[in-house]
Structure 1
């Protein structure tokens, strides 16, 4: 089984067309719209090239956008079909929801957007109402065969970094609690936390520390440090690794050779750290598939 995660950067369907991989509508002259169709075709090509059996997606506005993307853009390019598709409403006011596409049937699909700190017996950080939802988007869980997935998109580290850190820490604790409630012995079960955890990983202590070793095995840590980056910010030139594949000790132990592959062919040329294959249609900033790479890992025979 090949499992992947990809932040699609605002996949939204409006008036019969998809918005591009952009964070805002851009200039009033409509110039931001120029590359929208090319962006989404690059995203479809990226997924088709990676050919995952199951892919977790972030920043998908709704099921209609997901279906339109799959049927109109991805299906004509890929030998694989993803008949099992999920996109549940989350807590993001802009509609940036979490989605799953799978070649295999998905079981026990469940969203957790409504969970509060009280529901999970967790202490809310200072200034947060314990009756408000824990997750800024959701934690979408599903089982694909023997593997249970916990798909996440945590709070970004802005505009107030310290407050955002506390929110991400709570989200990480909540996901850990969900794993612990799901399995009597989490270390011996087969599960994977994946998605955009939005953690810079460069502070004195990562906000997502409750999910990190020894609770899990960070599969990206199996790559050399300079190969782990999965995101580039065009405004600041920053590179980061917000995208994560955190495997249970049992899953990582069963597949000791499983090393993630980062598919960066859809990144714009401004991401100059990438010296490998890049789609010919990519521009300096746009067109691009996203500001994130697609991250995939193989679990043969699972």
Structure 2
């Protein structure tokens, strides 16, 4: 089984057309010219997913099921031979509709959203300054099983506008995912599961990571199997910085069964302004845009699973 994860950067269907991979917070991304690049962004995103050639694809920043289906039918199905007949995008908590989603060539079973969970539901306390009646997940933690592998697809709180408050929210989200895994499996270390998605951990490495409850020894960080300088998966056009908010955290049993499963980071859809990537790019990629996203895609293969 091959599994991929990709933050699509604001995939939203409006009036029969998809928004492009842009946040709208940069002046150049909020013009009529920028809007004209939207279809090219989505074609590049489709090509990148087709290149990943995964059996199961976890997506972040998908507005709703209609947006997902439109992208699949109008863009992805034309970019390669692979269709994904099993697709899931359940309503989450982001007011902008940046939900998580799954596409699969294999049946998805045991599908569940956890968007409605409050801290008390899992025996957790809300951190100071966080409303205990507010849902834990700022988007969702989407659980699904593909064959023997259970996936937990997440998109945690971004580290702004208040980095301290965002850290506390991400820590709560990480603790909640761990509680969900522990409740699901009598022996989490011996079960086959994978936490994947955009966990939004900053790249500076200062202080304790907010997502520590999910990190080793509870899991195995598969990106650690790559050399340190090759783990980055995101480029910030505003600051020129790089980071690795995207994650593949495998259960000890999954990582132990596949010791040679080394992730690939597919950066061919990043704009040319991400100069750290010296490899080839998809045809049609521009300096800033068109691009597939400001994130690369991650992919990993578990042979025979």
Same fold flag (TM > 0.5) = yes
Other structure's SS at 1:7 match: strand
Q: Which residue of 119, 133, 141 maps to 1:139?
A: 141
Following superposition, the deviation at residue 279 of structure 1 comes to 1.1
1:283 corresponds to: 286
1:142-171, Cα deviation, whole Å (9 max, x unpaired):
000000000000000011101100000000
Q: Using the alignment, how far apart are the partners of 1:203 and 1:9 within structure 2?
A: 26
Task: Tell me which moved more, 20-29 or 186-195.
Answer: 20-29
Other structure's SS at 1:55 match: strand
RMSD: 1.0
2:14 corresponds to: 14
Other structure's SS at 1:118 match: helix
Following superposition, the deviation at residue 24 of structure 1 comes to 1.5
Query: 5+ residue gaps in structure 1?
Result: none
Other structure's SS at 1:287 match: coil
Query: 5+ residue gaps in structure 2?
Result: none
Other structure's SS at 2:91 match: coil
Following superposition, the deviation at residue 240 of structure 1 comes to 0.2
1:40-91, Cα deviation, whole Å (9 max, x unpaired):
0000000001101000000000000100000011111222110000000000
1:98 corresponds to: 100
1:186-240, Cα deviation, whole Å (9 max, x unpaired):
0000000000000015122110000000000000000000000000000000100
Q: Which residue of 287, 298, 302 maps to 1:299?
A: 302
Q: Using the alignment, how far apart are the partners of 1:225 and 1:281 within structure 2?
A: 29
Q: Using the alignment, how far apart are the partners of 2:103 and 2:165 within structure 1?
A: 32
Task: Tell me which moved more, 200-209 or 95-104.
Answer: 200-209
Q: Using the alignment, how far apart are the partners of 1:256 and 1:29 within structure 2?
A: 48
Alignment of 1:62-211 (within 5 A): 62-201=64-203, 202-211=205-214
- TM-score, normalised to structure 1, is 0.98
Following superposition, the deviation at residue 280 of structure 1 comes to 2.2
Runs of 4+ in 1 over 6 A off after TM superposition: none
1:35 corresponds to: 37
Q: Using the alignment, how far apart are the partners of 1:228 and 1:31 within structure 2?
A: 33
Q: Using the alignment, how far apart are the partners of 1:23 and 1:265 within structure 2?
A: 20
1:266 corresponds to: 269
- TM-score, normalised to structure 2, is 0.97
The alignment of Structure 1 onto Structure 2 pairs a total of residues equal to: 302
